[in-house]
Amino acid sequence: MPRRSLIAFLSLASTLHIAVADAVFNWPDPLLSTLDDALYRPLFSAASTFALNCGPRDNSTIAAQWLRLAYHDAATYDVTTGLGGLDASIAYEYTRPQNPGAGMLESLVDFAVSPNEYVGMADFIAMGAINAVIGCGGPIIPFRGGRVDATEAGPATVPEPQQDLATHTAKFAAQGFNATEMISLIACGHSLGGVRKVDFPLVVTEDVSTGVQTFTPPPTVNQTVGFDNTLVHEYLDGTTQDVLVVGSNITTRSDLRIFSSDNNVTMNQLADLNTFNEVCVDLIGRMINTVPSSVTLTDNIEPFDFKVWNTLLFPQGGSLAFLATLRIIENGLTGTVTMFWASRSDSGSPCPPSGCSVPSFQVSPAESSFLATLKGVPSFNLHSFNASIDLVSSISHFWFEVDNNDGSAPFVVDNNGKNYTIDQDVVLFDPRRSSFTIAGQFIVVGVKDPATDINVTALSTVSGSSPIPMPSNTVLQLKLDTAHPPADGYTFYTAPLPDAVLSNTIHATVNGTAYSEWVPFLSAPGV
């Protein structure tokens, strides 16, 4: 299948020391679909916009809080056991003395409404670190997904400023970073934020009117807070305000001990901005990719072109309504897209050998995230389709033909040659009969007749809340829906949804056969 290349984007530091391939999206893939949306479409991850322009919070910045949260989460890793790392265990650890600050819980709450059954809190904490860096003008850090959330706290291994150099070196070594990398990672992290007196009274001992001593000076009228190597230059030229270097409490001058531990060799190298960016991309990338040895991350996730999204199949008015959207990266062309499908049964099929077809009824623009624009994606076009499928012959798979109307030959989009397959039409989520409004939330599922032995449940993922804002799963038992009588060869089952539901997976056993269907919360019409 012909596939257009993304516009090339050259960052100062976008290459890891170890090359990782880009992930390929094969529909359906709830993990990659969710992560792509969260990374590249602000509609699906409102939190990603919070860190733009180093937005302030708690006399610090949201970006600094997110980057700190990610490190404190990853700091539980142990290279000898392969346990710990960035696994969202910080949700059970943020009240420890080594994790002070309101920003810990606030940051967790920032991400609490984003996970679903397939993507956990840990992936969103990792995304937060990436958005923190670019939101303050720093380089792009590649993202890989698939982290697994912990269910309990990890060991108390976060370095603390009063500890000596040997202890810090040993703790970073346990996390997989040598002494040189320890210096660099701290310089990268401390390019943002500062130390709040309320959290570290033994560190910030002076009378600070703002309550916080920033690692680098606050911005002036003509300057903005940024992710850069200002901290490095100020350290080397003796003008630094980093309280962990020049604070009156000698015991807590941890940055001074660490930065000077190799006679400033590393800090002098980081004085070059290109080197600083390259090193920070590598080390922060390694930090967020530090996961338990039992976890395998995806390849790098770049914006997917020709992404099928928001598919729905349900009975309506004597046929099966099939809704689908093909998301295409904006390329400046006025393309025409046609959707084709093949019948599940040849008997009585109205489709010709080439397949039934329908043009898109609507093309609407969709905003791209700041990260997507940095990668050369100005926006997306959503080509929407509404097909009426014969109830008897049904649908087995679908595909698209794209004509860019620029003189080039039309080409087929068919799930990388595998077709977009509709596995079954026996158990179908019904968005028109369901409700996702403040007036009431309930889910309705249609089960194809005839069926005598039926059990329908839904695994609902629910947003967490304080004191532990971790998502949880609950099983709902769907019962016969008396408000919706049988229609179009389907009988309907329903259950009320819990508050703060994030996604659902329908599970049903019908006449001894198991079926399942994932229902992202936002796939309901009008939501």
Q: What is the CATH number of the domain that holds 199?
A: 1.10.520.10
Say if 223 falls within a structural domain: yes
pLDDT tens digits for 350-374?
889 889 999 999 999 999 999 999 9
**Domain end position, chosen among 377, 399, 421:** 421
Amino acid at 118: Y
pLDDT at 418 > cutoff 50: yes
Positive or negative, the CA dihedral 165, 166, 169, 174 is negative
pLDDT exceeds cutoff 50 at 524: no
Residue 8 lies in a domain: no
pLDDT of residue 224: 55
For 472, the domain range is 427-523
Indicate the residue type of 33. S
Q: Using pLDDT thresholds of 50, 70 and 90, give the confidence band for residue 58.
A: confident
Q: How confident is the model at residue 38 (pLDDT cuts 50, 70, 90)?
A: very high
Mean pLDDT for the chain overall? 90
pLDDT higher than threshold 70 for residue 248 = yes
Both tokens of 393, joined, read: 């012959």
Q: Are residues 53 and 164 in the same domain?
A: yes
Question: What's residue 107's pLDDT?
Answer: 95
Do 248 and 319 have their domain in common?
no
216 or 254, which is more confident?
254
Residue 16, pLDDT score: 36
Q: Which two tokens stand for residue 23?
A: 């992930």
Is residue 492 within 8 Å of residue 434, measured between CB atoms? no
Does 257 have pLDDT greater than 70? yes
Same domain? 111 vs 260: yes
Assess whether pLDDT exceeds 80 at residue 17.
Answer: no
Mean pLDDT score, 153-163: 96
Q: How confident is the model at residue 221 (pLDDT cuts 50, 70, 90)?
A: very low
Predicted local distance difference test score (pLDDT) of residue 14: 37
* CATH number for 351: 2.60.40.2440
In a domain, 6, yes or no: no
What is the rounded average pLDDT of the residues 423-440?
90
pLDDT at 4 over 50: no
Q: Are 66 and 284 in contact (CB under 8 A)?
A: no
Q: What does the pLDDT average to over 194-201?
A: 92
Please check whether residues 140 and 282 belong to one and the same domain. yes
Please check the confidence at residue 293 and state whether its pLDDT lies above 90.
yes
Q: Are residues 364 and 437 in the same domain?
A: no
- Give me the residues paired with residue 505 across strands: 459, 518
Residue 34 binned pLDDT confidence (cut-offs 50, 70, 90): very high
Please check whether residues 193 and 65 belong to one and the same domain. yes
The amino acid present at 163, given as its one-letter code, is: Q
Tokens linked to 302: 């770049």
219 and 174 in one domain?
A: yes
Higher-confidence residue of 270 and 465: namely 270
Q: In this structure, is residue 353 part of a structural domain? A: yes
Number of structural domains (the chain) is 3
Phi–psi pair at 374, nearest 5 degrees: -65, -25
Let me know whether 239 and 358 are in one domain. Answer: no
Q: What is the mean pLDDT of residues 248-269?
A: 97
pLDDT at site 464: 84
Taking the C-alpha atoms of residue 330 and residue 380, their distance in angstroms, rounded to an integer, is 5
Q: Can you tell me whether residue 367 is helix, strand or coil?
A: strand
Among residues 399, 421, 443, the one where a domain terminates is 421
User: Is 298 part of a structural domain of the chain?
Assistant: no
pLDDT of residue 15: 35
Query: Above 90 in pLDDT, residue 208?
Result: no
Residue 299 lies in a domain: no
Whether 179 maps to a domain, the answer reads yes
Q: pLDDT value at position 189?
A: 97
pLDDT above 60 (res 405) = yes
Is 451 in the same domain as 374? no
Do residues 259 and 408 both lie within one domain? no
Q: Let me know: does 355 contact 346? Beta carbons within 8 Å.
A: no
**Domain co-membership, 467 together with 340:** no
CA 326 to chain centre: 21
Of 358, 387, 421, which one is at a domain's C-terminal end? 421
* Percent above pLDDT 70 for the chain: 94
SS3 labels along 429-448: ECCCCCEEECCEEEEEEEEE
Helix, strand, coil shares of the chain, percent, nearest 5, are 25, 25, 50
Regarding whether 51 and 119 lie in a shared domain, the answer is yes
As a whole number, mean pLDDT of residues 126-130 equals 97
What's the token pair of residue 414? Answer: 């068919």
What lies within 8 Å, CB to CB, of 44 at 6+ separation is 34, 37, 38, 522
- DSSP E strand stretches across 189-306: 194-196, 212-214
Residue 21 maps to a domain: no
Burial, 103: exposed, middle or buried (Cβ in 10 Å; 0-12, 13-18, 19+)?
A: buried
> Scanning the structure block, which residue is given the tokens 């080594």?
98
The residue-averaged pLDDT of 97-111 equals 94
